[in-house]
Structure 1
């Protein structure tokens, strides 16, 4: 401020020295007024500065006092925190000592709860036990030692599971029919093993809580398999809880097995049918012939042409051969003719019996070729693909053997019948020749005796 006044004074002095004399008085007046105004403004500004300085000092003192209070509070909290830390450490030690054995119990309880939960997930005995499922899940998910109520709930879940698995009861479950519609259905729960209704067994999906019917039911229906033993109803159940019933769908039926054989299998079955028809037809004919021959044996003196033996006897009766050898040849010819008619169709059955297994082997070879071709294209990462193809290939061999065995039996039966009839005919033919030979020998002896008597006479 002093420097500012000195500058103004110097300026004024210079103006006085330079300006004309007539303006000196006016300039001094103006300078005085300006100086007075400036001094007033300076005093006002100094007052404002002093007020601001005093306000700032008061705020500084308040902040310093507040800082002292905060420092005191921080020290108090720090001391309290240290004390609490020490108390907490002591309490944790006491808790560790107090819950040392309870920790092992907690582990055992959680393991037991997991076992119960696994049983609930795969067993139909948990149907209608939503409260038990919730209690067990809460124990498994808990991070602290289970309470008394939770332990009691776990025990009750065990009891309910055991009781439900030991009795048959009616329960209502969501059921999905073949059309895909869901409805509530009352079914019979057989312990912890299966669900069933009047039509058969049901599959239970524990994840979706839905019952569906098995695609393939056992051969014996549920109600028909029930038995009563000492007043108690006994019914067969799947002890694997549905695993065996599910495998029934993977077991092909007889029709499906035949379809797996393909065209070769159908040809083999066709040969079997043809062979059996031929065998039955020829067996009926041979049995009829045997019956007629039995009747003819009772009427030797009156042969008929409706049976082979009768026709052979008619040949003997009508024969006019001069010698026994000629008669024997004629009878042999007749027997051979009859034998040809008796053995008709037998060779065909034998041929079919031989062709059937060969066709089965052919089907197996072609099926194996297709199987290995599939493995070449898609790889053999899944053994079921290879096993299924080999199984289908072997079906033709099975069909061939199945066809060959009855055909061989039919062939043996027909051969035995034909051989028996032929033996009867041959035996009777030999008897006729022997009878003719005896007659010729007797005639010769009679002639010789008559000739001797004539000579003596």
Structure 2
């Protein structure tokens, strides 16, 4: 048994020694590989370091070169500044009063160019604007050629302002098409084509949106002579303002819903006033005809009063008087029918105008809150509504109030006629009764 155990232990010890030797060999191989890998990495790092150092040297050399160039340019700039100052001093001494002449020439050329850019005087002479542009952009004293060019530009402008000429210019029509069209140039006041006056923007002509009264056309200018025409002395400024001036319909549209309500009430009130005015005129003519034939009562206020008197003429004087008074009150109601509505509409129109004013101001303040008050055009809508509704309310109230007073006076005049005739009938009846009593007393 013991020899077997010994053999087993010996085998185990040999196996352990073999495993230890194998592990040691593996560890040594791994260590050798790691050393080789580290050597490779160190070589790579050294190569990268060498590249960075070379790049650093190149950048330092470039910096030194740029610094040198900068110093050289700085020295050159300083020298140039000194030279420029010396040359300017020499130029000022040499030019003397010619420097002022240079400024005057440039200023005159600039002002004339600004005036002629949108003028038809040089629409067919673009070289004039080119000459003025050269003078304006010049940086040296004007030469004789430039001075003569400025003088010729003034001369040609003055001559063109006194002539009526035919021109062929590019025209931008209402359909958006650019085409050549024949124009008449009326001095410096404007261009005229078949559509009326046109404006020149420096490149092409366009017709004004709104033409003035007596605006000529090219055909009319060619066929007639001695004709009066409307002209714009501001060279197109007034015609542009004419296009921006709103029409009556546009002003009414600015009133909004409140303005339409005021107009509707005004139309209703005037229709009532017109109808009642015609009725009162007819009634008055009927009464005048009835006064000529009192014995033949007809269908009119006075005729109905006469009929009421004949129906109750056997009654006492007091009863007849009350009966006629009742008939007059009934007729007065018919005569004044609709007048209260006219008066109400006359009072309501200014109140609606005030409502539109308040509404427009509220809208204006809302716009100011949103966009500020820097641009007046933003607030124009609300202010326009406020003013237009006020004007509509006042314009509506005045004729309505006038119509009410006139109709009320007519109704009162008719009522006075009826009362006068009624009192005459009562007085006549009272005199008849008094005469009968006197006759009876004498007979007794």
Q: TM-score, normalised by structure 1?
A: 0.72
User: 2:233 is paired with a residue of what secondary structure?
Assistant: coil
Partner of 1:117: 113
Contact in 2 for aligned 1:269/1:399 (Cα 8 Å) = yes
Partner of 1:215: 209
Matches within 5 A, 1:1-400: 99-206=95-202, 209-218=203-212, 220-223=213-216, 232-304=226-298, 306-400=299-393
Residues 287-338 of structure 1: per-residue CA shift (max 9 Å, x gap): 111111111111122221x210111111112214432111111110111111
**RMSD over aligned Cα atoms:** 2.5
User: 1:238 is paired with a residue of what secondary structure?
Assistant: coil
More divergent stretch after superposition (347-356 vs 385-394): 385-394
The alpha carbon displacement at 1:232 in A equals: 4.9
Distance 1:379 1:111 in 2: 39
User: 2:269 is paired with a residue of what secondary structure?
Assistant: helix
Q: How many residues align?
A: 353
Partner of 2:406: 413
Q: TM-score, normalised by structure 2?
A: 0.74
Contact in 2 for aligned 1:199/1:221 (Cα 8 Å) = no
Partner of 1:429: 422
Distance 1:186 1:444, change over 3 A: same
The alpha carbon displacement at 1:97 in A equals: 6.9
Residue ranges of structure 2 left out of the alignment (5+ in a row): 1-85
The alpha carbon displacement at 1:271 in A equals: 0.6
- Kindly report structure 1 stretches of 4+ aligned residues shifted beyond 6 Å: 95-98
Distance 1:283 1:173, change over 3 A: same
Residue ranges of structure 1 left out of the alignment (5+ in a row): 1-88, 452-457
Distance 1:114 1:366 in 2: 49
Distance 2:113 2:97 in 1: 25
Partner of 1:438: 431
Contact in 2 for aligned 1:117/1:133 (Cα 8 Å) = yes
Partner of 2:56: none
Partner of 1:10: none
Distance 1:311 1:322 in 2: 17
User: 2:231 is paired with a residue of what secondary structure?
Assistant: coil
Distance 1:233 1:292 in 2: 56
User: 1:188 is paired with a residue of what secondary structure?
Assistant: strand
Distance 2:124 2:410 in 1: 71
The alpha carbon displacement at 1:156 in A equals: 1.7
Larger Rg: 1
More divergent stretch after superposition (132-141 vs 322-331): 132-141
Residues 255-304 of structure 1: per-residue CA shift (max 9 Å, x gap): 12222211111111111111111111111111111111111111122221
Distance 1:321 1:377, change over 3 A: farther
Distance 1:135 1:401 in 2: 60
Distance 1:396 1:151, change over 3 A: same
Contact in 2 for aligned 1:238/1:245 (Cα 8 Å) = yes
Contact in 1 for aligned 2:214/2:229 (Cα 8 Å) = no
Contact in 2 for aligned 1:198/1:222 (Cα 8 Å) = no
Distance 1:382 1:97, change over 3 A: closer
